[in-house]
Chains A and B, each alone.
Chain A
Amino acid sequence: EPEVTQTPSHQVTQMGQEVILRCVPISNHLYFYWYRQILGQKVEFLVSFYNNEISEKSEIFDDQFSVERPDGSNFTLKIRSTKLEDSAMYFCASRGQPGNGYTFGSGTRLTVV
Chain B
Amino acid sequence: TQLLEQSPQFLSIQEGENLTVYCNSSSVFSSLQWYRQEPGEGPVLLVTVVTGGEVKKLKRLTFQFGDARKDSSLHITAAQPGDTGLYLCAGAGAGGTSYGKLTFGQGTILTVHP
A interface vs B, CB < 8 Å?
4, 31, 33, 35, 42-45, 48, 50, 55-56, 58, 91, 93, 95, 98-107, 109
Contacts and interface: CB of A to CB of B under 8 A. Distances in A.
22 contacts: A31-B99, A33-B102, A35-B102, A42-B104, A42-B106, A43-B43, A43-B88, A43-B104, A44-B104, A45-B101, A56-B98, A56-B99, A91-B42, A95-B100, A98-B100, A101-B33, A101-B48, A102-B45, A102-B102, A104-B44, A106-B40, A107-B42
Contacts of B103: 45
A91 B104 CA distance: 13
Contacts of B43: 43, 91, 104
A65 to B, nearest CB: 15
Contacts, number: 62
A21 B34 CA distance: 26
Interface in B84-114: 88, 90, 97-107
B42 A104 contact: yes
Interface string B44-72: 11011010000000000000000000000
Nearest to B3: A42
B99 A48 contact: yes
Interface in B5-64: 30-31, 33, 35, 40-45, 47-48, 50
A12 to B, nearest CB: 16
Residue from the set A44, A45, A105 with the largest chain B CB neighbour count within 10 Å:
A45
Contacts of A48: 99-101
Nearest to A49: B99
Given A43-B88, A98-B100, 20 more contacts: A31-B99, A31-B100, A33-B100, A42-B104, A43-B43, A43-B104, A45-B102, A50-B99, A55-B99, A56-B99, A91-B43, A100-B48, A101-B33, A101-B45, A103-B45, A104-B42, A104-B45, A105-B42, A106-B42, A107-B42
